[in-house]
Structure 1
Amino acid sequence: MRLPTLKPLGISAPFRTVPLFRTLGPGSVSSLLKIALDVAYVLLMLITGILLLAFVAAIFVPLTGPLEGQTYVEGTGDAAREVPITRTLILFGLGATSAYFGGFLLILRNLRQIFRTLTQGDPFRPENVRRLRQIGLTLTVVTVGVAVAQGLIPSIPDPGFSEMLTPIFSVLVVFVLAEVFKEGARLRHEAELTI
């Protein structure tokens, strides 16, 4: 069965439509974005791998050399104090950063798979609903993790409501998009049954 093709976006002139670009299929904007996501995925995979290696090395390598006896300033103004850099602090920082980048690596993996279906011209697949839900869940975990980490480190100010508004809004938008894709997949399935 052949699915109907979508018309490219364009500027409507009085007597004809001038196509600007195609949004779906091979050679479209979706395929260009898929390439950008592939590059970002590889770079993020390298960064996450390096962070994980540094985390494992920090477990076994003794804290000597330039970091031994070093401190950092925690707080501001009269409440500022010097805190020694310890193995626990380094492990926490590397672990939290690795988890942060790992979460976004999972998000990019799902986005790449969604854009693969866009490039094929078939976005309303049931697996895209699952992928969008996974993106929303991962984004929720990353957002909550950042808020918890900010609460654990006194030198980082707690996020206010306005700072949490964008991540919360993003999570809600992703879950709504998942439901839109679910409805699109349902309608597509019904259309296939009637043909």
Structure 2
Amino acid sequence: MRTLGPGSVSSLLKIALDVAYWLLVVVTLLLLIGFVAAIFVPLTDLNVTVSDSGGGRQQPLTRPLLLFGVGALAAWFGGFLLILSNLRKIFRSLTLGDPFQPDNVRRLRAIGVILAVVTGGVWVAQGLIAARLAPGIMNSQGLGELLTPVFSVLVVFVLAEVFREGARLRRESELTI
């Protein structure tokens, strides 16, 4: 089976990315609606239970806590929505059989930056949750947990440079008579 062009593996993957993209659009919109609704919803006598295998504790659900939780989820899904949007455009060029476009370099760099921001945001949010919401129950992430995400971000930036070099070589070959 071919990897590039119409009817190829890349076109099948683009269809899967399209489906995932629209599902993320729906989820992100629902979370944004939930964020706005959380501003107005009365929060009397609602509790959050934070637990681990050794037990847990309850604490009241406050408006800032609810807004932080829903806002963080909306930002997380929104970040991956941006990543999928760029991936869909990259796979569109793969389906057309023209992967080494300068726009794909920009898209891969954007994916790397968004992935880095999402990873950093999750790391900070988990640290805040561990320190404020669940001290003693939940541990914050250490630097060791960042190794895989940082490696992934670096791989994306290296791929961007590979695509940049491919685009440069393509330009040079087009100028050759």
Q: So what's the TM-score if we normalise by structure 1?
A: 0.83
Q: CA deviation at 1:60?
A: 1.6
Counterpart CA distance in 2 for 1:71 and 1:39 is: 34
Identify, as 1 or 2, the structure richer in helix: 2
After superposition, the Cα gap between the structure-2 partners of 1:71 and 1:117, relative to the gap in structure 1 and judged at 3 Å, is closer
Task: Name the counterpart of 2:160.
Answer: 178
Partner amino acid, structure 1, of 2:50: V
The yes-or-no answer on 1:167 pairing with 2:149 is yes
Q: CA deviation at 1:76?
A: 7.1
| Structure 1 segments unaligned to the other structure (5+ residues) | 1-20
Contact 1:75 1:81 in 2 (8 A): no
Task: Name the counterpart of 2:120.
Answer: 144
SS of the residue 1:153 aligns to:
helix
Q: CA deviation at 1:74?
A: 5.9
Partner amino acid, structure 2, of 1:128: N
Contact 2:43 2:61 in 1 (8 A): no
Same amino acid, percent of matched pairs: 69
SS of the residue 1:158 aligns to:
coil
Task: Name the counterpart of 2:72.
Answer: 96
Counterpart CA distance in 2 for 1:144 and 1:83 is: 27
Q: CA deviation at 1:77?
A: 4.8
Task: Name the counterpart of 2:87.
Answer: 111
Counterpart CA distance in 2 for 1:71 and 1:191 is: 62
Aligned with 1:72 (options 43, 49, 52): 49
Q: Deviations over 1:87-130 (max 9, x none)?
A: 11111000000000000000000000000000000000000000
Contact 1:72 1:85 in 2 (8 A): no
The yes-or-no answer on 1:127 pairing with 2:121 is no
Task: Name the counterpart of 2:34.
Answer: 54
Counterpart CA distance in 2 for 1:51 and 1:102 is: 10
Counterpart CA distance in 2 for 1:150 and 1:70 is: 20
The yes-or-no answer on 1:86 pairing with 2:62 is yes
The yes-or-no answer on 1:191 pairing with 2:168 is no
Larger radius of gyration: 1
Counterpart CA distance in 2 for 1:46 and 1:69 is: 27
Task: Name the counterpart of 1:31.
Answer: 11
Greater shift, 32-41 or 82-91, is seen at 82-91
Contact 1:74 1:83 in 2 (8 A): no
Q: CA deviation at 1:53?
A: 0.3
| Structure 2 segments unaligned to the other structure (5+ residues) | none
Over the residues paired in the alignment, what is the CA RMSD in angstroms?
A: 1.6
Counterpart CA distance in 1 for 2:83 and 2:39 is: 28
Counterpart CA distance in 2 for 1:166 and 1:103 is: 18
Q: So what's the TM-score if we normalise by structure 2?
A: 0.91
SS of the residue 1:131 aligns to:
helix
Counterpart CA distance in 1 for 2:48 and 2:161 is: 50
Number of matched residues?
171
